[in-house]
A and B are shown apart, each in its own frame.
Chain A
Amino acid sequence: MRNQLLKGGMQNAIVLLSIFALWQIVVDGFDVPATYTPSPAVIAQTIWAQPGAFAAAVGTTLLEAILGIAAGTIIGIASGVLFSRVPLLERMFFPYLVASQAVPIIAFGAIVIIWFGNGIASKVFIALYLTFFPVAVNTLRGLRSVNPQQIGLLRTFGASSSTILLKLQFPAALPSIFTAIRLGASLGLVGAIVGEWFGAQVGLGVMLLLSMYNYQMPELWAAIVLTGVAGALLFLVVALLESRLAWWQEEI
């Protein structure tokens, strides 16, 4: 699994490098004006010229996203377990959780900013609820996917329902929970960035917005590339966690 991850990473790196090389050649060869698209070298120089500012932006946005994703995961798993225990609650609210997946709930971010202000809390909350919905849905589906005969077997051995939950249902649900966390991780990052558009001091979203207003193409591209890096980091963290916690799962 870890080898697979490494191999995939190597392949991605090679593709990425060749794309950057091609991009550099095209920009240099055809003299594309930097106001249209800067070359990768110019983007790298831009980041290099003020590493502190870019690091602060990536750090702030990542912090917002990670806090929100973690909290959303915990609350999502807890609600999934609650739904699996109280069928009436599930039948009353689960359809709405499923429907939330078909809706741009990120638009509620505008309202969250009104509630929690311009600081980090509002972005954390946006990332939280964007992660919460898929995790809650997939937790319940994962818990339900357990073979009833296995539950019956454990029960005949006198296992309590909390033992069955911890030893059988939860491990069985982990792969599907991680699928949701991976989705939540990318949504959470997007949520943090969009939240920053509505008002913030530091962050990748702020950087994207300001460089658009000021027509600073190198800065804009630097922010785009760093957003990609932040997304890759989040993905890596989730993948490593998954290989630790759900190690019996073969494929990524």
Chain B
Amino acid sequence: MRAISQPRSMPRRGRATVGLRRSAWRRVARLWPPVLGMILLLALWELAVYWFALPNFVLPLPQEILAAALDDLPALWHDAQTTMFEATVGFVAGSVIGFLLAAGMIMYAAVERVILPVYVTVNSVPMIAFGPLVTIWFGIGVLSKIVLIVIVVSYAVLLNTLAGLRSCDPGAIALLRSFGASDWRIMLTLRLPGALPSIFSGLKVAVVHAMILAVVVEMLGAHSGLGWSIYRATQMMNFVDAWAAVLAAVAISLTLYGLVGWANKRAIWWPQ
């Protein structure tokens, strides 16, 4: 037996390394088009500036923006920290509140009947319309931004958690119950894991909303922050700085979104 299995394993190992190389190639094949696309876009950008002799308030060169960002890195970092703080604190607090509300609504129907309509009504108005109001009520500091973010994030998480917890197979619930499982037990071992994919899709939407609101509400007034820096820069005709702040907001948002995506992959380890 051993004698037979020996030669068999040889080509198998060989195939495995070929497969590895092939997957590496496939990754390159998948990656080069977007890279090429980005290079093309950047080239078009540079060429447009040179051809049409665009002044830098119309379109600064990418390297000018980078230079401006590096030139005033401490200030940019200070603004970025404020925006990140607002977005992260609002996101975490809003997620917890939304999740607890959803769990409460599953356990006690009365909570849903009272709270959900109010939530839906408030959120039917585009949230940024409340920006000036929270700025008056809570001042131009970070609190006004966090309050608004908490409302929006908790709403998104609430709806998705509710849908996820409800999507549970009734047969599975009946089975657990017939074995004497309590409501809490069913919630923890069955409903919650089943709801995770839906919860995470809510979290992904919510983290983007959090960044959008942080930046936009800052534009109404703030002590510091990327949105405030964008607003100030455009009012002072300092367009290269405006570009730098916008691109910083983009980078932060992608990072936060990536973190939520990473957490999603770690939390849901079973095949979907």
Please list the residues of chain A having a beta carbon within 8 angstroms of any beta carbon in chain B.
12, 15-16, 19, 36, 88, 91-93, 95-96, 99, 101-108, 110-111, 113-115, 186, 189-190, 193-194, 197-198, 204, 208-209, 211-212, 215, 217, 220-221, 223-225, 227-228, 231-232
Contact = CB atoms under 8 A, between A and B. Distances in A.
Contacts of B120: 12, 15
Interchain residue pairs A-B with the least CB separation, the first 6: A92-B37, A212-B132, A91-B33, A228-B125, A227-B129, A102-B257
Contacts of A111: 234, 239, 242-243, 246
Interface in B180-232: 204, 208, 211-212, 215-216, 219-220, 226-227, 230-231
Interface stretch (B45-53, B97-105, B247-255): B247-255
Nearest to B137: A36
A175 to B, nearest CB: 18
B246 A108 contact: yes
B271 interface: no
B138 interface: no
A84 B215 CA distance: 34
Contact of A95 (B34, B208, B212): B34
A246 B152 CA distance: 30
Given A16-B121, A113-B234, A208 B129 contact: yes
B136 interface: yes
A224 B243 contact: no
Nearest to B136: A212
Contacts of B117: 15, 19
A106 B131 CA distance: 15
A223 B129 contact: yes
A211 B132 contact: yes
Nearest to A90: B33
Given A110-B246, A193-B126, 20 more contacts: A12-B120, A19-B121, A102-B208, A102-B254, A103-B253, A103-B254, A104-B208, A104-B212, A104-B249, A106-B212, A106-B216, A110-B231, A190-B126, A193-B128, A193-B129, A198-B231, A208-B129, A212-B133, A212-B136, A224-B133
Contacts of A92: 33-34, 36-37, 40
SS of B interface (majority) = helix
Interface residues of B, number: 49
B242 A104 contact: no
Nearest to A20: B121
A105 B257 CA distance: 14
A221 B120 CA distance: 18
Contacts of B215: 104, 106-107
Contacts of B216: 104, 106-107, 190, 194
A91 B250 CA distance: 21
Contact of A231 (B125, B130, B133): B125
Given A104-B253, A193-B129, A231 B208 contact: no
Contact of A208 (B57, B131, B233, B254): B131
A193 B216 CA distance: 11
Nearest to B125: A228
B160 interface: no
